[in-house]
A = this chain, B = another copy of it.
Amino acid sequence: MTPPACTAHTLTDIATALRADLIGDGTIVVNAVAHPLMAESADTLALAMDGSAEHALAQTRAISAVVAEGRGVALARLKGGIVVHRPRYALAQLLELFARPPVVHRGVHPSAVIDPTATIGTDVSIGAFCAVGPGTRIGHRTQLLPHATVGAGVVIGDDCLIHAGARIGDRCVLGHRLILQPNVVIGSDGFGFVTPEKGSVESARETGRVEATNREIVRVNSIGIVVIDDDVEIGAGTCIDRATVGVTRIGRGTKIDNLVQVGHNCTIGENCLIAGTTGLSGSVTLGNRVSLGGGVGVSDHVSIGDDAVIVARAAVATAVPARQVWAGYPAVPHREFTEQLFSVRRAPRLLRDVQDLKQRLARLEQRMAHGD
Contact = CB atoms under 8 A, between A and B. Distances in A.
Given A214-B289, A309-B201, A343 B334 contact: no
Interface string A189-233: 101111111001100100011100111111111110000000001
Given A185-B236, A191-B235, A344-B344, A147 B131 contact: yes
Interface string A129-156: 1010111100000000111010111000
Interface residues of A, number: 146
Q: Is the interface of A mostly helix, strand, loop or mixed?
A: loop
A167 interface: yes
A164 B149 CA distance: 7
A96 B307 CA distance: 39
Given A133-B103, A241-B258, A346-B351, A218 B271 contact: no
Given A100-B223, A253-B217, A315 B312 contact: yes
Contacts of A315: 295, 312-313
A78 interface: no
A113 B174 CA distance: 28
A89 B197 CA distance: 8
Copy tally for this chain in the complex stands at 3
A220 B308 CA distance: 23
Interface in A100-129: 100, 102-103, 109, 111, 113, 117, 127-129
Contacts of A364: 361, 364-365, 368
Given A295-B315, A297-B313, 15 more contacts: A89-B218, A95-B245, A100-B170, A100-B171, A103-B170, A131-B146, A163-B188, A183-B183, A183-B237, A210-B323, A217-B255, A217-B271, A276-B279, A312-B315, A350-B351
